[in-house]
Amino acid sequence: GENVEQHPSTLSVQEGDSAVIKCTYSDSASNYFPWYKQELGKRPQLIIDIRSNVGEKKDQRIAVTLNKTAKHFSLHITETQPEDSAVYFCAARGKFYFGSGTKLNVKP
């Protein structure tokens, strides 16, 4: 089955800095890679996604890059703000398995 590894498990940055979260996957058939943001006690919300025929996608301060050869993809958040503090999950479709999550703390 799919195995999605996510790093780091926690990430603390200063407001205004950039944050990068990385995921690797094992199933070469995976072709859709969403990222979800989950605030404490709330539902996961899709923030950005990328299809396998695209190497990079950007939406304002958020970008995702995909390297299919190396089977890894990354979430980049620039100019971080305190409201970016949350847990971020990656996933690689194919199957329905999420990464273990990254707790991002943005210090004001």
**Site of interaction with other proteins (CB under 8 A):** 30-32, 34, 36, 41-46, 49, 51, 89, 93-101
CA distance 9 to 28: 24
Which residue has tokens 């995976």? 30
Question: Minimum distance from CB of 21 to other proteins (Å)?
Answer: 14
- Cβ-based burial of 23 (10 A; exposed 0-12, middle 13-18, buried ≥19): buried
The residues that bridge with 22 in the sheet, in sequence order, are 7, 74
Nearer to other proteins, 22 or 95 (CB): 95
Question: Minimum distance from CB of 16 to other proteins (Å)?
Answer: 28
Question: Minimum distance from CB of 31 to other proteins (Å)?
Answer: 5
Question: Minimum distance from CB of 14 to other proteins (Å)?
Answer: 24
Nearer to other proteins, 68 or 78 (CB): 68
Residues 62-75: b if buried by 16+ CB within 10 A, e if exposed: bbbbbeeeeebbbb
Nearer to other proteins, 14 or 53 (CB): 53
